[in-house]
Amino acid sequence: MNGPVLKAPVLEVPVLKVSGLTVSVGRGARRHVAVQDVGFEVPAGGSLGVVGESGSGKSLTLRALMGLLPPGVRAERGVVELAGEPLPFTGPRARSARRGRLAMVFQDPLSGLDPVHTVGAQVAEVPRRVLGQPAVASRRRAVELLRLVGLPDPERRSQAFPHQLSGGMRQRVLIAMALASEPKVLLCDEPTTALDVTVQAQVLELLDDVRRRLGVAVVFVSHDLAVVRQVCDRLAVMYTGRLVETGRSADVLDHPAHPYTLGLLEAVVDLDDVDHMPVTIPGALPDLAHVPSGCPFHPRCRFASEDCAQGVPPFRYLNDRQWGAGEGSDGEGTDEEGSDGEGTDEEVTDGARGTACKYPERVTAG
């Protein structure tokens, strides 16, 4: 009845722990929940990929973690802990509590850079301002960082203005800027989407390298499963602002527990398998104002039955009982695979225990 048997990982205090994160957009009668009850953990030096179609709430999740929600968007509930310390979402401490500990790389490498200053000056600004380092040391550090992120001839290039660099180089500069504050966690929102494929691969390698060598934990948002497979130990799959599945990347991608994950996988073009025809998921992401009851994916799901409109099936953590299952119980070593396949999950919502998703049943039966 269960997926692959998982060994309980060695537990340490996660560097980033998110629980119950709920974000709303709009006001009054036009207020809608865009992120609902999202929770996950990332260990030091670990990497989590957050995937889902465009509009599934990935960016708002990262922005909430970063304390950078746009106007009209609010974190309603939830706790974000960095190395055990809860971070406020707003107010004067929202920035100071994150400074030098949490950094973010955005999708568009031009928007994060100031056109009128050299890239070296912009990178140097971070150690000077955030870490209080003297100007000369900061400039030296900037060159070191630009070298670290693989910018060729960093002394000379540090004198360049953003428009004089290619998109891939600008993205490297942004990663250097993010690393300049010596964060424990790097949040990356589709950092390679604007780049062409070969440059994309280089930037991914860079992020992986940074993670391994500097021990920086990485949260990597992408709509591209091939990309997350390459860089992430763990995955969280989002649909309509909800997590529908979390687990080790290999488990989630090779044995998806949620039909939505299967749909994302089936939509991928596989260059190694010319017989595989990509199939897009029918229908579209629902409007936030009209998220279906029960399993939010059921109107688009080929395995759906009437039950699916009634309650959220308890497959949310089928692939993983550790991550995000959180909420106080870490479940260390007690994750005996067995009994009824619902284990000890405490966070199954809507009293939906017992509502079966036909998809994992079908897969495990066959």
Q: Footprint of ligand ADP on this chain (CB under 6 A)?
A: 25, 34, 52, 54-60, 70, 72-73, 288
Task: Tell me the CA distances in angstroms from 211 to 11, 183, 187, 311, one per residue in order.
Answer: 19, 11, 12, 39
From ligand ADP, Mg ion, none, which one binds at residue 56 (CB under 5 to 8 Å depending on kind)?
ligand ADP
From Mg ion, ligand ADP, none, which one binds at residue 157 (CB under 5 to 8 Å depending on kind)?
none
Question: With respect to Mg ion, which residue has the nearer C-beta, 53 or 266?
Answer: 53
Q: Which of 24, 47, 59, 319 binds Mg ion (CB under 5 A)?
A: 59
What is the per-residue burial (b if ≥16 Cβ within 10 Å, else e) of 47-76? Answer: bbbbbbbebbbbbbbbbbbbbbbeeebbbe
Question: With respect to Mg ion, which residue has the nearer C-beta, 99 or 223?
Answer: 223
d(CA 5, CA 226) in angstroms, rounded, equals: 24
| # residues contacting Mg ion (CB under 5 A) | 1
Please work out, in degrees rounded to the nearest 5, the angle formed at the alpha carbon of residue 188 by the alpha carbons of 247 and 203.
100
Overall size of the chain counted in residues:
366
From Mg ion, ligand ADP, none, which one binds at residue 283 (CB under 5 to 8 Å depending on kind)?
none
Please state the closest distance from residue 193 (CB atom) to Mg ion, in A: 9
Beta strands, E only, the chain: 16-25, 32-42, 47-51, 73-82, 85-86, 102-105, 185-189, 217-222, 234-239, 242-248
Please state the closest distance from residue 25 (CB atom) to ligand ADP, in A: 4
Q: Which stretch binds Mg ion (CB under 5 A): 55-63, 245-253, 320-328, 349-357?
A: 55-63
From ligand ADP, Mg ion, none, which one binds at residue 288 (CB under 5 to 8 Å depending on kind)?
ligand ADP
- Starting at the edge strand found earlier in the chain, the sheet holding 16-25 runs 32-42, 16-25, 73-82, 85-86
Nearest to 68, CA basis, from 107, 34, 94, 39: 94
What the block records as the tokens of 61 is: 């999740």
d(CA 135, CA 236) in angstroms, rounded, equals: 41
Question: With respect to Mg ion, which residue has the nearer C-beta, 2 or 59?
Answer: 59
Question: With respect to ligand ADP, which residue has the nearer C-beta, 45 or 286?
Answer: 286
Phi, psi of 53 (to 5 degrees): -60, 165
Q: Which of residues 266-305 bind Mg ion (CB under 5 A)?
A: none
Please state the closest distance from residue 239 (CB atom) to ligand ADP, in A: 10
Answer yes or no whether residue 192 interacts with Mg ion by CB under 5 A. no
From ligand ADP, Mg ion, none, which one binds at residue 101 (CB under 5 to 8 Å depending on kind)?
none
Please state the closest distance from residue 208 (CB atom) to ligand ADP, in A: 22
Question: With respect to ligand ADP, which residue has the nearer C-beta, 54 or 111?
Answer: 54
Residue tagged 């091939």 (tokens): 226
Please state the closest distance from residue 349 (CB atom) to ligand ADP, in A: 19
End-to-end CA distance of the chain: 11
Q: Which stretch binds Mg ion (CB under 5 A): 52-60, 77-85, 162-170, 235-243?
A: 52-60
Point out the residue whose Cβ comes nearest to Mg ion: 59
Point out the residue whose Cβ comes nearest to ligand ADP: 59
From Mg ion, ligand ADP, none, which one binds at residue 73 (CB under 5 to 8 Å depending on kind)?
ligand ADP
DSSP letter at 292?
P
Q: What does 312-364 look like in DSSP terms, one character per residue?
A: --TTTTTT-SSTTT-TT---TT-----TTS-TT-----TT-TTPPPHHHHHHH
Give contact residues for Mg ion (rule: CB under 5 A): 59
